[in-house]
Structure 1
Amino acid sequence: MTDLPVQLENVTKRYGAFTAVDDLSFSVKQGEIYGFLGPNGAGKTTTLRMLLDIVQPSEGRVSILGSNSAISVRRRIGYLPEERGLYRKMKAVDSIAYFARLRGLSGGKAKKRAHALLEEFGLGKFARSKCEALSKGMAQKVQLLATIAHEPELLILDEPFSGLDPINQQTLEQLIADQRAGGRTIIFSTHVMQHAERLCDRFLIIAKGHKRFEGTLAEARAGFGRHIHVRSSAPASALESLPGVLSVRLERSAGDEHDYDVELGENADPQDFLRQAMAAGLPMTRFEQAGATLHDIFVALAGDEEEAPPAQPARRAEAAE
C-alpha cells in the first residue's frame, strides 16, 4: 500500500482542438478525503476517467495504487460514475451482489454483504424490490452500496450528492466519513461547496481544465481576504470608505439596520476596522469576524468560468468494472 495512492503528473487531455484538461498535477494521500471541485465542464469527470484508465491522457503520467493502470488494480477500487445506472429488472440485493462478484467476492459472500449493507442503510425491506420500482434516492443508495460492497481501498465518487434530498445527503456524508475512518482513501468530485467544506482533508479547485488551488481550507483562507459580519444603520458606502476595506455586500435589511459582509484586504486588521468605524461615528450593533467560506474561495477562483463543451463519450467503460 503506497502513501500516495493517486498521483497525476502534467496530465493533459485533448479532444481535437478542445483541451479538456491542461497540464494537471496533483496527489492524494493515503487515508484522506480529497475533494475535486469545479464548475460544470471544468474537467473533473474527464480527469477521473483518465485516472481510471477509461480514457487515455494525451500527455502526462497517471499512477493509481502503485500501478500505471487502474485496470490491473480494479478490484481494489470502488467507482461511482456521474451517469447513474442499474439493471432495472434486477432486484436491489442482486444488483449489489453482482457488482461485488465482478470485483472478486464469491457468490455467497457477495450476497451476504449485499443484505448486510441494505439493512445497515435502511433498505432491508426493499432487498427483493426491482431497481425500477425504487425511488431515485433509493436507487442511488443501492448504486453507492454496490460501489463499496467489495470493501475497496480507494473510493472514487463522481458527483455522489447529485439528486439526493437533504436527508440522504446527510446519510451519504456519514457513509463517506465512516469509510475514511475504516482506513480508505476517498476522492469525490462536486460543485456543491458545503459538502466539501465539511468532509475534505484537502481539495483541488479546477476550472477550464486548469488547477487553480490545491491544499487545505486553512491554506486557502490564508491567501484570501478576511471577512467581517457587521450590523449597522450606516450606508454601505460609509463602510467602503474605511481604510483596508475591499468590498461591502448587503446580506439583509431589517428596518433601519442592515447586515453587511465586509471583506478586508490581506494585511488589514479587523480591530483597526472597528476602531476606524467608531471614530467615524458609524453605529454598529454586530461585529463578528469570520474566515472566508469555501464557497467564497471557489467563486473567487472559478466563479467566472463558463461551462465548457462536454467530454467525448467514454470508451473502455469496462475498466471501471
Structure 2
Amino acid sequence: MDLSSISPVLLVASIMVSATPILLAAIGELVVEKSGVLNLGVEGMMITGAVVGFVAAINSGSLMLGFAMAALAGAVLSLSFGVLTQIFLSNQVATGLGLTLVGLGLSSLIGKPYEGMKAASLPKLDIPLLGDLPILGRMLFSHDFMVYFSLFLVLAVWAFLKYTRAGLILRAVGESHDSAHALGYKVVRVRLVAIMFGGACAGLGGAYLSLVRVPQWTEGMTAGAGWIALAIVVFASWRAGRVLIGAYLFGGITVLQLNLQAAGLTWGVQYLSMSPYLITIIVLVFISSNRSRASHDAPATLGKTFHATR
C-alpha cells in the first residue's frame, strides 16, 4: 500500500464535494425538526430531486434550471407530506417512510429513459487572489458554486434561528405548539413552510449528486444519503454548526476509504465501504445512550401531532 499517492490537498477538496449533498439535505431537515416535525422522507426527496434536476438539465441545457426544478420537486413532494401530517393528522413516521418509497419508485419511473446519459458539470469558481494561494487555493477556493452555497446556507440557517423573530417563532412552535397557538401563531402554516424548505434543500442535495458529483443518472444513486442526513441532525444535537461538522465527517470517511482502496489496500475493502454507515450508527448509539441529554436537545414537540381544536 502506497500512502504517498494520497494527496492531502485533493483529499480535503474531495471531502468538501462529497459532503455537500448530505449537508444540503441535513440543514433542511434541521429546520423541519426545529419546527417540531419529523420527516423521514429525506431519501425520497433527494432521489426525486436528483432525477428531476438531471432531466431538466438534459432537456434545457441549463444546470441552474436543473437545480431550480430539483428544489421545486423536493418542495412539492414534501408538501404532500405536510398536508397529510399537518392537516389530515396522519402519523409522521409512517408518512415519512411512505414518502421515501414514493420517491424511490417515482425516480425509477422518470429516470429510466435517461440512464447512461451524462450532463455537463458545474464549472469551478476560481476566486480571485484566494484561488491563487499555493495550497489553500486549490484546497478551499476552487470549487463549484453549490459547495459555497451549502456553506452559506448553514450560516444563514444559524443566523435565522438565533437572531430573527421568524426563527424564534419557528423554535417556539417546535418547543410548544400549544403555547405558540395560544399566542396567535399559525402553527400549521409555520410547519408547512419549514417542511417545504427542507424538501427544497433535499432536492438540491439530490441534484448535486446527479449533476455534479457523478454527473449522470443512476437508479438509487443516493445510496442512503438521506438516512445519513437524518442521523447527522441527531448527531449535531439540532445545531446548525454541528450539522456542518457531521456532514464533513461523513464525507471525510467516504472519501478516505476510497483513497485507501486506490492506494492499494486490498484487505477488508468491504469493511471500508461500510465504514461510513457503521460510524454513523456508532455515533447515534453513543448519543442515544445519554437519554437525558438527547431529550434536552431535541425540540419538545418533535414528532407530536398538533390539533388546533384541542
TM-score w.r.t. the length of structure 2 is: 0.26
Higher strand content, 1 or 2: 1
Higher helix content, 1 or 2: 2
Relative contact order (C-alpha < 8 Å, sep 6+): which is higher?
2
Structure with larger Rg: 1
